[in-house]
Every structure is written in C-alpha cells, then in structure tokens.
Amino acid sequence: MHRLSLLLLMSSLHASPLNYPAAVRSDLKETLHGVEIADPYRGLEEIDSAETRQWVEAEAKLAGDYLGALPQRAAILEGLKKLMNYDRIGLPHVEGGRIFRARKTGLQNQGVLYWKESETAAERVLLDPNKLAADGTAALSGWHVSRDGKRVAYGISLAGSDWNECRFRDVASGEDLPDVLKWVKFSQPSWNHEGSAVYYSRYAAPKEGQELKEKNLNQKMYVHQMGEAQEQDRLLYERPDQPEWGLGGGETDDGRYLLIHVSKGTAPENGLFYRDLTAGAEGPIVELFKDFDAEYSLVGNDGPIWYLITTKDAPNRKLVAVDLAHPSPKDWRTILPEQPGLLSQVAYLGGRFVVTRLVDAHDEVTVHEKDGKVVQKLELPGFGNVSGFGGKQEDTTTHYFLTGFTTPGEIYHFDVTTCKSTLEEETKVAFDPRAYETEQVFYKSKDGTRIPMFLCHKKGLERNGLNPTLLTAYGGFNISLTPAFSPSTIAWMEMGGVFTQPNLRGGGEYGQAWHEGGRRLEKQRVFEDFIAAAEWLIAEKITSTPKLAIYGGSNGGLLVGACLNQRPELFGAAVPAVGVHDMLRFHKFTIGWAWEDEFGSPNDPVAFANILKYSPLHNIRKIAYPPTLILTGDHDDRVFPAHSFKYAATLQQAQAGPAPILLRVDLKAGHGAGKPTSKQIDETADKYAFLAEALGMKVEIK
C-alpha cells in the first residue's frame, strides 16, 4: 500500500467510530428468577447459519483491514518471527530402553516426535503432524509409549478442537496400525502393563453438525484390545446416574492395580477408585475415596501401600501413606505434613520422593527419603519454574526442565541417588537475557489482601508513568500462574513494554484457601485484585491509564471483560481472548456445564444474582470504551465462540466513543492448544500492533 494511502486510511479509521457490520437482532427476552433478560443476539449462537457466517466474515474483513493497515505491524511481525525461530526440545522419555522426545524446530508449525534405540544411536522421526495438514492445523495432542517401547498411542486434534482421534504406531516400522479410537475428549490413552491394550474414556458421538456445540456428558471408560474394532471395546466403568462425572486412569507402575480417577466438573475435589488386577480383569471396583471431600492423587505404591497427595485436613496438601487394608484417614501415615508452601508435585523415584512446592508463585524442589526426611534442596535461580521428574518408580535417574520469564529453558539430568543435576541442553533464543530483569512485588487489594505480582522489563526502567504496560492474569479454576518463558513476552519488552503478571485469588498459588477466595460467590474479589494491580502500577508510576493494556484468555477473557465494564476509564486498551462472556448461558454448550463448580449455576437464584452482577455481556453500557480487540477461534469447542460473537456485537452497538471495537476470528482454530506457530505469530502481531497503536508506542524491534 502506498504510504500516503496508508496514512489516509489510518486517519479515517481513527477520526470517527468504525462502521460495524450489523448482526441480526431480535426482541428476545426471557425471565430468569424474576429478572427480565434481553438476548437480542441469540441468533449468533447458530454459528453455522448463513446469517452468522455472513456477519463473521464481515467482522473478519473489518478487523483484517484495520489491523493490516497498522503502520507498525510489519516490524512487529518480523521481530516475532525472529524470536519464534528457535528449537523447542522436550524432555526425554525412556521405555523399553528406547528414548523418545518431542521437538519443534525453528518456525515449524507443530512439534515432531522422535525416537532412538539408545543414547548413542541416531535419532529418527516417529510422528510428524506437519505432514497431516498443509496449514499446520493438525496437532499432536498427546502420546503414550508402551512399556516395551514398541508401540505408541497418540491423539490428533484438527483445527484446535478438543475432540481427538486416537491412533497407534509401530515404532520400529514407523507404520500406523489399523486401530482407531474416535470421539475421545479430555482423555489420554494409557497402555496396560503388557502393551496389549489401552485404557481410554470417550463420549457418545454427537449429533451431526453439533460437534462443536453439544453438551459433553456421560463420559465412559473403556479398554481397547489391540487389533480389534472400537465397537468391540469392553466397557470398564460408567455411571449413568452421574452424567457429569469425568473418568480416566490406567495401571500402576507395578501393573497390579487399575486406577480410576473420578472428577465432578472442574472441582479440585475428586474420587479415587481401583480394581485389584490380581483378582482378574472382572474383579470388583473398589470405591476407595467416594465422598469428593478432598483431592486424592496417587504418587506411587509399594504393593498395597499407596502414596497419595491429598488436601484432606490439609488445604496446602500433604503426602500420606495409605494401606489399602486400612484406608481410613485415621490410619494414614503422614510423610510430608502440610506447609505454608503449596505442595504442587511429588515424584516417587528410586525409593525417594522428589518434591516441588510453590512458594510465592515460584518453585522450590527438595528430595526426601521415604520417611519424609529431607536429603537435599535443589539450587534454582530466583523465580524459576520447574517441570518434569518423570519416570517409573524403579528409575534412579530422571530429567527436569527449568524455565522463567527470561530463561527459555534448560534440561537437566538428575540422579536421585546422588542428588546431582547435570545440564544437558539449553534453549537458544535470539535475545540477550542479561538486558532484562524480573522482580516480584506485593500490593494490597480492595479488602487489604496481599497479592503478589511479577514485573518484567528492560533494566534501568524509569518510573515516569510513560511505560507501555501489559497487565495479564487468570484468577480461576485453581490454576497457578508461574514464571514461564514466552517469545511474545520478550517481543513486548523489546518493543519497550513492561510485562506484569499478578497472581489473583481464584488461582491455586496459595492452595485451597486462595482458590476459594475467588470462587463462586467470591468471584468479584478476582476482579478487585486485578483492578488493584492496575491502580498500583499507576500509583507507582510504572505506567498510566493511556499506556496500560489488559489481556487475558478463557477465564482470563472473562476477567478482562468484567473489569472493562467495571472500570473502563482505568485502561488504555483491552484484549479479551476466547472469553466466557455470556455468564447466563455458559452451561449450555460443550463442557461449559462443568464450570458451574467454579462460577455457580445460573439455575440457582443466589448464584444467578451474583453472576448477573459481573457477566461481561450483561453489564455493557452506552459509554466510551477504550480500544478493544476481541479474539476467538471458529473451532473453539471449549468456550463456544458465540460468547465472543454476542459480546462483540453488543459492545460495538454500545460504543459511545471513537475507539475501535474489533472482533478477530481465527479460522480453523480452537481454544489455543495445538495452534500452529504461523497462526500464533499472526495473532500476536495483530494484538501487539493494535496495542502499539492504542498506547502510542514507537516500535523498534532489533
């Protein structure tokens, strides 16, 4: 585009409100718990109707024209490509003496699974999902190798959907076996001890055309014998009287027990059942913990002595030994008692426990004897995030992955016997980490609660209120936000921005009490925590309203939408992504019903009254909103895209100021998992170009 034409287009775009596509409106109203609720854009829930498709295409063109004309997008795009062009290497996984690992090279859209016969052997490609779809929208959603290392079960997700098709590959030949499992969702296949069968869970096939919309209920657990058709799979467990139960599991390392993990929606509390396989494949299923009164997670076992992480009488979790002959809590032996730091992971390896605790939202790792005695604490850099420590109980060595906001990733070999860590591989990204720094601050929320927040920026930050700042958070579902590397974070800082990440209530950073503090009827506290973070950043002259942008995805998209309604004057720009915006109908689509445990049920009058107060869709007013870019994917079957469609149509209709309200719909994309690198780069370039324009940034990415 000619420079003069570009300037004229940008001038026209910002001089007056945009001409938004008109969505089909209706006079639909319904009375819920005595309250009349208008839903004029209900028709957008029919995402495949001609009217909706026409509107979405018009919105996509409007957003594409606007974002494509932004003068700094090209520089941002090139900077992102440079930063994203690096090798991401997964942790090695050993089965049957063979070594397996995933790797994504450079700008490759999807990661590839490799294998080799031994440490000294040449590595070979086992699974390359990039060959399944030219545009990179076929993703490897998970893989599990049999204990003998001869076969791998793997899932393929298309266009970002949560639906998986499970396939099987012979490792030596690299050829797929004829077995195929369909309609698998929220389940990973798990091999039995002999490698002759897999356990998995599935739903009934949805009605044709309703795959991305229909409720997911009545999950059932099956065992599939290799070489047989899926129709012959043996049903292991179902509960038609409990349609909302989620089922999953597999065998213990010793092959003695079949474990069945039972969930209820997204509640952290769960049930734990088992079958003793020494009594045969048709032996009774024992409901070991069936009251859903706490979390119960198996770490490992010595025969009938099970080692469990639990929140039973320990909100921050503890490690206990349970004798299956006497499983009552009064007979448990506590190995690691509850501590102030959240017990986030325990690995049982070589007769010892490798323990990860979350302390002020970053990790600490210690090694313990079987009786709980501390052997050693690992030396980690400040504000690190540690993952890994996988393997079987008999293994004495393992690997772990260390990352942080400015640490792309380091893979260490760890000897459990000597507690020695050896650096094996270091991820290389085209930036200088020494130019940046991470600090953790604490601020007070509206009710005085102390909230932690990470700040990442170039060294020598001047507190003059002029720093473009991106504030992002989540605050829900017991999920903890810890320091983690992202090239997009580095890109933002190279643009001269400050990246900030507070740990809001509703998350899991400080255990059960932290989650409960922002759950159900307490959800408003999450928004207050986020707003208080913005106010702190302004008061401390890190930034100011014209320079402050907020971003969040999924539950974080709800967070941004709610805060944008409650304090529109506080923010300079907003980007809600794949958000839950219609809080009165979230439970009606796909897996949305499961979130009632987190938000409360709109069918309950008390929960309804609370939800209505903050629902992003229902609290939009005719006022001047700051520039807002709404992101969703047309194949999002986690958060139904109509949430974003209805929210965008309503916000555009209500906008009383000149700032743009754009809806960017990513085609052949879902909630985010498995998104190709090319799509990630394009979306981030659009987001950052939008924010650069809104916040008045001058981008200079070297």
Q: Which residues are catalytic?
A: 554, 671
- 278: Cα within 13 Å, side-chain hemisphere: 5
Q: Strand pairing partners for 319?
A: 309, 336
Which residues fall within 8 angstroms of residue 298, CB to CB, at 6 or more apart? 252, 259, 272, 306, 307, 308
**Beta carbons of 158 and 141 less than 8 angstroms apart:** no
Q: What is the DSSP string of 615-671?
A: -TGGG--SS-PPPEEEEEETT-SSS-THHHHHHHHHHHHH--SSS-EEEEEETT--S
**How far, CA to CA in Å, does 185 sit from each of 137, 208, 225, 580?**
17, 17, 19, 20
Residue with tokens 């085609």: 667
- 431: Cα within 13 Å, side-chain hemisphere: 30
Q: Strand pairing partners for 400?
A: 388, 412
CB atoms under 10 Å from CB of 545, counted, come to 14
Query: Any idea what DSSP says for residue 248?
Result: E
Residue with tokens 């987190």: 598
**Beta carbons of 276 and 282 less than 8 angstroms apart:** no
Distance CA 248, CA 186 (A): 9
**How far, CA to CA in Å, does 690 sit from each of 474, 493, 649?**
21, 16, 19
CB atoms under 10 Å from CB of 235, counted, come to 9
Distance CA 364, CA 296 (A): 22
Output the CA torsion sign for 581, 583, 589, 591: positive
Distance CA 89, CA 100 (A): 11
Structural element, H or E, at residue 68:
helix 50-68
**Beta carbons of 130 and 122 less than 8 angstroms apart:** no
Selection from 242, 198, 201 nearest residue 219 by Cα:
201
